[in-house]
Amino acid sequence: MKIHTNGMLINQKDLRWYRFDDFGCYVALYGNGIFAANIMADGSVDLTDYVDVSAPEPGLLVQVNAAMGTAFKMTDFAGMNEDWNL
């Protein structure tokens, strides 16, 4: 399955999902952004319903940066503004 986001064509199979139990989701990196998907009852990632994150919770972003070696800031996301200080 291929998905389009921010003008990019992404193969779903190329995404590596990381589980964040505290937030009940999996996260995958792509380019300069992230996708989030729910954790299903059996513990797997819900690949039928995931979103391009535009306004992450600050705590999730801290964990994403720590787990994935990224340096995202709240202002990197379209739904956020400089009022967030992370």
Per-residue confidence at 13, pLDDT binned at 50, 70, 90?
low
- Residue 49 placed within a domain: yes
Residue 67 CB neighbour total at 10 angstroms: 12
Q: Which domain holds residue 70?
A: 17-76
Q: Give the CB-side neighbour count of residue 47, counting CA atoms within 13 A.
A: 12
- Residue 7 placed within a domain: no
pTM of the model: 0.74
pLDDT tens track for 56-78: 888 999 999 999 999 998 888 87
Report which residue type is found at 35: F
Structure tokens at 49: 């319903």
- The domain tally of the chain equals 1
Euclidean distance between CA atoms 56 and 54, whole angstroms? 6
- Residue 31 placed within a domain: yes
